[in-house]
Amino acid sequence: DKYGLPVDMDLIKLWDSNKGFASPPEEILKMKNPPTAYFTMHLNITVEMMKLFESAGKRIPDDLSIIGFHAIPTVELWKVPVTVIRQSPYDIGSESAKLLLETISSKSKKTKRIVLPCTFIERNSCGPPPS
């Protein structure tokens, strides 16, 4: 919305840690003009999407690019190491604890927003769109 780009809700697939995807992500690959870049918000989603791409015969990064928003343990052992945006769980926990203690001690009902920096870790899962 900030850049005036339209949001296609058909491209957004909701995922639940207990149930998986609300609707099959394969639908995206079957679209008339499917996207060539994917962004996932959780390790399990990334793994599931990578399996889907492989079973569909898609090559990463030649046919599709993927970026995850999380750290991936042992990513170096993957067939294609995934580019990620990494958060710091330690910093998130530390700041959360500080806010909790501050709220308890001041009995304040005010909310406070803290934005912590992330790190972009470029690996082999991204490339230019196929021609």
Q: Is the peptide bond before 61 cis (omega within 30 degrees of 0)?
A: yes
Phi, psi angles (nearest 5°) of residue 21: -70, 140
Rounded to an integer, the average pLDDT of 51-75 is: 89
Mean pLDDT across 92-113: 86
DSSP three-state, residue 60: coil
Mean pLDDT of 97-101: 90
Which helix (H) or strand (E) is 102 found in, with range?
helix 89-106
| Cα-Cα-Cα-Cα dihedral sign, residues 54, 58, 60, 66 | negative
What's the confidence (pLDDT) of residue 36?
A: 92
> Could you tell me the maximum CA-CA distance found in the chain, to the nearest angstrom?
59
What confidence score (pLDDT) does residue 25 get?
87
30 in Cβ contact with 60 (< 8 Å): no
Give the mean model confidence (pLDDT) for residues 29-37.
90
- Whole-number average pLDDT of the chain: 88
pTM of the predicted protein model: 0.80
Lowest mean per-residue pLDDT among 33-37, 54-58, 74-78: 74-78
